[in-house]
């Protein structure tokens, strides 16, 4: 739950909006979440020693990543609002901030109204806004696979538009500048998403393209199609994506791959269960990765919950994707977690 600061004794004062003396109501909200997991992971590979051993860790929660944020809105009249958001992720197991950017989960300002919203700054892409309805989100998610990061990612120097809901149709456009001198398209990222929802059924399409920041003209292109149907007793989800990555890096060559996520969510009062099968299939290659993920949750209150994850991951061929450790070709990994989260 995100609580206005006014409930914790902090409200921004009303400002004078125009020469006419109309008072524009302004407010600021502080929000966030903190959570920790106890994690048991098998076959954690150490590239220095060449050994794989089990490991016990305390990590940031895998369901709700810990963060703190400040957001605000000012009523400009006529249904128009100015909005901003500043959000930073934290590692509660160490007390340190995560990454080199302090506001690493968002720093934007924009306008909202009957036209939808337009925002400027570092922010999540539009696939992140909608595709949680079709695939598993949070830490053990398919957007951690190379070639599919844009299923949920954030970029700097971005412009984002989200449309209003018109007869069940909704979507958005996203453009992030590469800001490479003399190369206007180098490093730029573009994404478009369209969804349609009617009753318990929803379907969505995402298409995007990332230009090589070195200016070679090579691109990392992806599209994804997702659908879900809520039967009441359970919600079924499916998402299929394709990546055509032409960009060469130090660690890999260009590749094409498909990705599928088959999932189900089951609400049981204060309890919740979900299960997913995820597979990345590299074209013309045995280097594939798949995993099963099962999650259980119990709400102690509206803001505090217990949760657990069980993951069985398998690599084939030279694939070396893992959640913990350096990764080793063909390696398997089993993960068990139990944690607590609190949102404010």
| Cα 264 from Cα 230, distance rounded (Å) | 10
Tokens of 186: 């180098």
The pLDDT score that the predictor gives to residue 24 is: 61
Q: What is the pLDDT, as a whole number, of residue 280?
A: 97
pLDDT at 9: 38
pLDDT at 18: 39
- Please answer whether residues 227 and 195 qualify as being in contact, where contact means their C-beta atoms are separated by less than 8 angstroms: no
What pLDDT score was predicted for residue 136?
A: 93
pTM for this model (two decimals) = 0.87
Q: 109: how many CB neighbours lie within 10 A of its CB? A: 13
Which positions ≥6 away from 176 have C-beta within 8 Å?
Answer: 155, 156, 157, 158, 159, 188, 189, 190
- 154: how many CB neighbours lie within 10 A of its CB? 19
pLDDT along the chain (344 residues), means of 10: 39 37 74 97 94 95 93 96 96 87 93 98 97 93 94 96 98 96 91 98 98 89 98 98 88 90 97 97 96 97 96 96 93 97 96
Measured on CA atoms in the order 40, 46, 52, 53, is the torsion positive or negative? negative
Q: What is the pLDDT of residue 5?
A: 39
Tokens of 181: 């001198």
What phi-psi label fits residue 286: left (phi over 0), alpha (psi between -120 and 50 degrees) or beta? Answer: alpha
């Amino acid at each position: 739950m995100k609580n206005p600061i006014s409930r914790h004794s902090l409200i921004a004062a009303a400002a004078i909006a125009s020469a006419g003396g109309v008072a524009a109501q302004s407010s600021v909200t502080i929000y966030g979440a903190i959570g920790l997991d106890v994690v048991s992971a098998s076959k954690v590979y150490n590239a220095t020693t060449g050994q794989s051993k089990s490991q016990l860790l305390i990590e940031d929660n895998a369901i709700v990543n810990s963060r703190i944020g400040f957001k605000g809105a000012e009523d400009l009249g006529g249904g128009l609002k100015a909005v901003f958001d500043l959000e930073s992720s934290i590692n509660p197991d160490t007390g340190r901030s995560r990454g080199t950017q302090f506001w690493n989960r968002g720093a934007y300002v924009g306008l909202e109204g009957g036209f939808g919203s337009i925002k400027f700054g570092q922010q999540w892409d539009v696939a992140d806004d909608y595709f949680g309805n079709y695939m598993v989100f949070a830490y053990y998610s398919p957007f951690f696979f190379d070639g599919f990061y844009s299923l949920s990612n954030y970029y700097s120097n971005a412009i984002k538009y989200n449309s209003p809901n018109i007869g069940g149709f909704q979507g958005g456009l996203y453009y992030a500048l590469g800001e490479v001198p003399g190369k206007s398209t180098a490093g730029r990222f573009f994404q478009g998403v369209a969804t349609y929802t009617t009753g318990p059924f929803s379907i969505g399409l995402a298409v995007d393209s990332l230009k090589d920041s070195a200016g070679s003209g090579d691109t990392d292109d992806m599209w994804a199609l997702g659908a879900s149907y809520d039967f009441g007793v359970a919600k079924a989800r499916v998402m299929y994506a394709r990546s055509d990555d032409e960009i060469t890096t130090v660690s890999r060559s260009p590749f094409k791959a498909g990705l599928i996520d088959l999932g189900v969510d089951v609400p049981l009062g204060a309890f919740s269960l979900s299960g997913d099968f995820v597979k990345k299939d590299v074209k013309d290659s045995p280097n594939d990765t798949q995993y099963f993920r099962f999650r259980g949750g119990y709400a102690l209150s509206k803001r505090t919950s217990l949760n657990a994850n069980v993951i069985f991951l398998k690599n084939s061929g030279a694939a070396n994707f893992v959640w913990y450790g350096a990764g080793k070709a063909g390696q398997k990994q089993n993960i068990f977690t139990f944690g607590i989260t609190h949102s404010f």
